[in-house]
Chain A
Amino acid sequence: MTLDLSSDDLEMLDGRDGAAVEMSMRIIVRLGETVKANRLIDISSAHIDSCLYHGLSTIDFADRLVQLGAQVKVPTTLNVSSMDLLHPDLYRGDPEEALRGRQLADLYESMGCKPTWTCAPYLLEERPNFGDQIVWAESNAIVFANSVLGARTDRYGDLIDICAAITGRTPDAGLHLDANRYASLVYEVGHLSPSLFDHDEIFPLLGAFIGSTTGTQVPVVDGLNHKQSEYRLRALGAAAASTGSVGMFHVVGSTPEAQTLDAALGDNAPQGLIKVSVEDLQMMRSKLTSSTGTALATIALGTPHYSIDEFAILRSHILGKHKHPEIDFYVSAGRDILLELELRGWADELRSFGVSLVGDTCTYFTPILSNTDKPAMTDSGKWAYYAPSNLGIDVIFASTADCVASAIAGRVVLDESIWTNEQ
């Protein structure tokens, strides 16, 4: 099969719409040939990860596109930045890097991208519909769009995301195609105690386990007896996309392409079945925890950016209480959500407990934490997975409730009853 370009594609490639479209199209076509696509397809939105600063080459690339006259052709949102653009004083890193982050932000905004600065674009008011063809980068956004919204995006990353936004086209390959969206590996959980799944923290653990065992297959979770909330599904997906390269998963009865197990499998026989054990989940819990003592300096929540649902849970734990003075408590969220917290009056309640709200960026790769010598605690599988490498910090994965209890106590407090009851 060769890549069959439309006359429009060929004209773009030939410079009809200017040099930026031509360069972007050249990159899209090379990708299309590599992934053996038959054609390019139109997209209805894009989410850009290239706006995060990773060194001068990220600026060189955006600057080249801007110099060549680039403008996005479809509604385009921006992923997190390297700093809180609205509260730059939170940034503790190299001031020159902060300037570069701001410069990169300006370049992408000047191409017509919306300054959303969030890794959770699916929480914005306008989100893709079932079946929409989109180009989203950022692994947790990709896995959520495919699995929970039923929109279609391949596992895009930096550089290609903006090229697709500028041309409005992408190769018809990967998770854009029906055949690649069916599950082939079943994770059975029906034999586990249903009460285990009353606990939110089981979902990132299950996700982390799936990510580390599923390889490049599409997994399906079978045996959960009621429809799971969006925030649980996204915690599962975010963890699976961190410990592995999962771009789509199904949960029978909860995700739109898995009304039944057969539907998720596309009526094919599964290639494998994994019976998940309590020990598997406990093993993931220890893998996501690198500290065994009670020492603690930081609580870090909001990876991916917290939703209103998650703030509601957090609020129920903190109302009328105050954190220990020696613990820093950060929660990251998108601008829109932070604004909503103000409007609801929740922001003041959170601040009165001692929460520092962080926007536009995330605490697991930006120098925001004031103390990285002592361990941090998180309810995020993704934060727990990446922070030790990125920040050189020790981490404890725990439930949101344990994070709050520890913040109040000033040391690590873990409720082990969920595990001891399962023995």
Chain B
Amino acid sequence: MKVFGLMSSNKEISGPMLRLDEPLSFWGGLDPETGQITDVHHPQVGSSVTGTVLAMEHGRGSSSSSSVVLELIRNKAGPVAIVLSEMDTHILLGSIVAEELYGLSMPVLITSKENLQNFHSGNVAHIDSEGNIKFIN
């Protein structure tokens, strides 16, 4: 996978996978204080993204998503990494500015649509600084 944004030091990132069945708009769809999905139209409403490796095809909707991602990272309520099959610059910018302002990292990783099929909620994902990923059931 291609890594955009800062990987935290040389350490491997790991966290339980949260594979979203549909794209999520961070603004209007997620509470940046709790990390909970609040979009009533989303099939995974009520799930928390905090500490997860969050995987979805692409982001969706509002231009405020960057700010919500930034606020989510500042609150330490964000995922440890976000994996997408299409780059979403709104999400990436939240991550870039979190580095600039707070030195906090939440990398955005890009993989193929086919690869994304291997991401299953509940598995634990380990990602090294090169973007290599291992899943443990």
Residues in chain A within 8 A of chain B (CB atoms): 23, 26-27, 30-31, 34-35, 49-50, 52, 54-58, 60-61, 64, 137-139, 142, 155-161, 216, 241-242, 244-245, 365, 385-386, 388-390
Contact = CB atoms under 8 A, between A and B. Distances in A.
Contact of B64 (A34, A158, A385): A158
A95 B64 CA distance: 22
A27 B96 CA distance: 7
Nearest to B92: A34
A181 B63 CA distance: 19
A139 B92 contact: no
B100 interface: yes
Contacts of A158: 63-67, 70, 90, 93
B61 A245 contact: yes
A155 B65 CA distance: 12
A172 to B, nearest CB: 14
23 contacts: A23-B100, A27-B93, A30-B96, A31-B93, A35-B89, A49-B63, A52-B64, A54-B32, A54-B67, A54-B68, A56-B71, A57-B70, A60-B102, A61-B70, A139-B61, A155-B89, A157-B62, A158-B70, A158-B93, A159-B70, A160-B89, A245-B58, A386-B28
Contacts of A60: 74, 101-102
Contact of B59 (A57, A58, A138, A245): A245
B67 A242 contact: no
Contacts of A156: 63
Contacts of A390: 28
A355 B118 CA distance: 54
Contacts of A157: 62-67, 89-90, 93
B28 A137 contact: no
B40 interface: yes
Interface in B40-73: 40-41, 58-68, 70-71, 73
Contact of B4 (A34, A137, A241, A244): A34
Contacts of B124: none
Given A61-B70, A216-B86, A389-B29, A49 B96 contact: no
A357 B67 CA distance: 28
A242 B61 contact: yes
A120 to B, nearest CB: 14
B73 to A, nearest CB: 8
Contacts of B102: 57, 60
Given A34-B89, A35-B87, A159-B93, A57 B101 contact: yes
A50 B29 CA distance: 18
Most buried by B among A58, A139, A159, A388: A159
Contact of A365 (B28, B65, B73, B86): B28
A52 B40 contact: no
Contacts of B74: 55-57, 60
B93 A241 contact: no
A57 B101 CA distance: 9
A58 B100 CA distance: 13
Contacts of B75: 55
B111 to A, nearest CB: 15
B62 A139 contact: yes
A55 B74 CA distance: 9
A143 to B, nearest CB: 11
A116 B45 CA distance: 35
